[in-house]
Structure 1
């Protein structure tokens, strides 16, 4: 198998995306990637990230690649969990306080929420994007807590609808929801919503 064939195989196995680190690990020389990129056989998305030109760009994967500590949250997480039908026009991510990402400048495309480092990874799970790549998203219970806590900064109808949907979801974990609500100091608010909506 030539190096070029190997790159094609790696791209296929990785659903159209390849990092230079993965290529190197598989024994592909950096020169091969450069050459393939120059003749248009692969696309370069960013430093060290390549894509099959026939592939649709996976914005979720790319965003997390560019903002390593970002976890999809709030309205974007609701979309991942099927708690809203609305495709996010602005990607929402939670990052640790003080973490700086160059994506902060792109205010039209992204909305960032800050949280203390010790609370940042609570409820973090891996999920697949619509393109089949793995990204980090908060679980349903953490997402509901986040949305209720910041509901004045979000679309209120969307949040209410999502909470209603969550209540009807088989396997909704109320004890976990209340445990998170306690950690984030919104237990009364969550209880109130649960009473009104159940």
Structure 2
């Protein structure tokens, strides 16, 4: 019996020695791990003759698990620090992979509030989200889109009620999955590529520039989609356009021909003007 106790004591002392060696090796790079490991090892010192071998093995396993978790947490934090200084507002999954951040680390960052999921495969940093406007996010998500209808009417001051969604004209070949996002809410308007090439201007915001249909093209689109608009909003948009000194009826009629609504627009203009 005494022999078994001595053997257990020797095994414990050897385990403690190995753990201390591990702690010493990790000290330079992972100081938090050193503290944890020492705190765990300390209670066992001096009581080797009282501790069963099974407890020694179990404790050693717990120590290894905690060291592994702490190591992973520090590595994730270090990789996160790298991406905050090098990547832009929107971050793709492949970008995170390049920095060694995969599914487990990504989920951990999201749960800790250090990363926000915009949509499948696309993320952004919360600190960047606080700085950037909604318009800038739109410009990054849909650089090929053009503001139209309610969004464009609001920008030009033709209506004073902030739209609930972003009306964006895009190519009919655009994947619908691009609009599967929770925020901001986007209403896509699909059309032939050729119709995205004329009557396009720029909308200048505080931190970005977006493509937008000019005033004449915008009213042409409103008349084309009149049945989909609220009557009050449509009438207010037309009145605002008529009173706008920057309107160009010649351009409006030209756009109407391209959109196959020339007769309808001409008839309306004769009444309104």
- TM-score clears 0.5: yes
User: Which is further off, 153-162 or 142-151?
Assistant: 153-162
Per the alignment, residue 191 of structure 1 pairs with: 266
Per the alignment, residue 109 of structure 1 pairs with: 185
Q: Determine if the alignment matches structure 1 residue 138 to structure 2 residue 216.
A: no
- TM-score for the superposition, normalised by structure 2: 0.53
What is the count of residue pairs matched by the alignment?
177
Q: Determine if the alignment matches structure 1 residue 120 to structure 2 residue 203.
A: no
Bigger helix share: 2
CA distance in 2, matches of 1:155, 1:92: 15
- TM-score for the superposition, normalised by structure 1: 0.71
Q: 1:179 to 1:50 in 2, by over 3 A?
A: farther
**Deviation of 1:110 (Å):** 2.0
Q: 1:44 to 1:88 in 2, by over 3 A?
A: same
1:59 aligns with one of 113, 131, 134: 134
Per the alignment, residue 248 of structure 2 pairs with: 173
Highest RCO, 1 vs 2 (Cα 8 Å, sep ≥ 6) = 1
Runs of at least 5 residues in structure 1 that lack an aligned partner in the other structure? 9-16, 21-29, 32-37
Per-residue displacement from partner, 1:48-101 (whole Å, max 9, x unpaired)?
866755845422221231123221111111111111111111111111112114
Per-residue displacement from partner, 1:124-170 (whole Å, max 9, x unpaired)?
222113x3321111111111111110111122221221111111111
Q: Determine if the alignment matches structure 1 residue 74 to structure 2 residue 149.
A: yes
Runs of at least 5 residues in structure 2 that lack an aligned partner in the other structure? 1-80, 92-97, 100-108
RMSD: 3.7
Per the alignment, residue 11 of structure 1 pairs with: none
